[in-house]
Amino acid sequence: MAKQTITITLHMSEILYNVQNTAFLTGRSRETGQNQEEVAHIQGSDDEEVVNQLLRFIGNAFTALKTPLSEFIVSTQTTGNDILFDVNASLVITLSMPNNYNNATVETVSTAIHQYIANTAIAEWFTITNKNDAKDYIDKAAANLAQIRDAINKRVRPVRTNPTGSGSGSGSGH
């Protein structure tokens, strides 16, 4: 069966903003007195150690996502490394999809991948700063992964064609 190529490009700056803002708002909204400052610190500062750790979490989530998507990913990569992603990087996933893939779900796939990476990174941050919130984001990431799987498996409904090429198909007896 013929294939089509779908390219998903995510911008690190958007993912970082999502992670920082979500953690900041979560930390600010807590009234229990437990770690609000540490949780909120993720966004309140661009300290090198905070950003580096976030980039590591995002990189881990991005590479982990490649395993469940491996049957669709186009890659000629034969080596790996653990170099930290750059703040200005773009994360690109190229998928080889069947021609009957429903392109209406491309934005769903893109958004769900973004959210999976962000929620996984937030869960990692909360594992350090507020374990009670970590599980919520682990669950959200799992739901994002299910949404990705569902969307990449959508297909366009086949259309019946007339094998004789004439009229409405009458006369074939079938």
- Per-residue pLDDT reduced to its tens digit, 16-55: 999 988 887 777 776 555 555 655 555 555 677 788 888 9
**Pairwise CA distance, residues 71 & 68, whole Å:** 8
Is 123:138 a contact under the CB 8 Å cutoff? Answer: yes
More confident position, 60 or 33: 60
Q: How many CA atoms lie within 13 A of 43 on its CB side?
A: 19
**Residue 7 DSSP label:** E
Q: How does pLDDT run across 67-90, given as a tens digit for each residue?
A: 999 999 998 777 777 777 888 889
Query: 165 pLDDT exceeds 90?
Result: no
**Model confidence at 91: pLDDT above 90:** yes
- Distance between CA atoms of residues 105 and 155, nearest Å: 10
Please state, in angstroms and rounded to a whole number, the distance separating the CA atoms of residues 52 and 47.
9
Structure tokens given for 136 = 């919520």
**What's the rounded Cα separation, in Å, for the pair 51 and 20?**
9
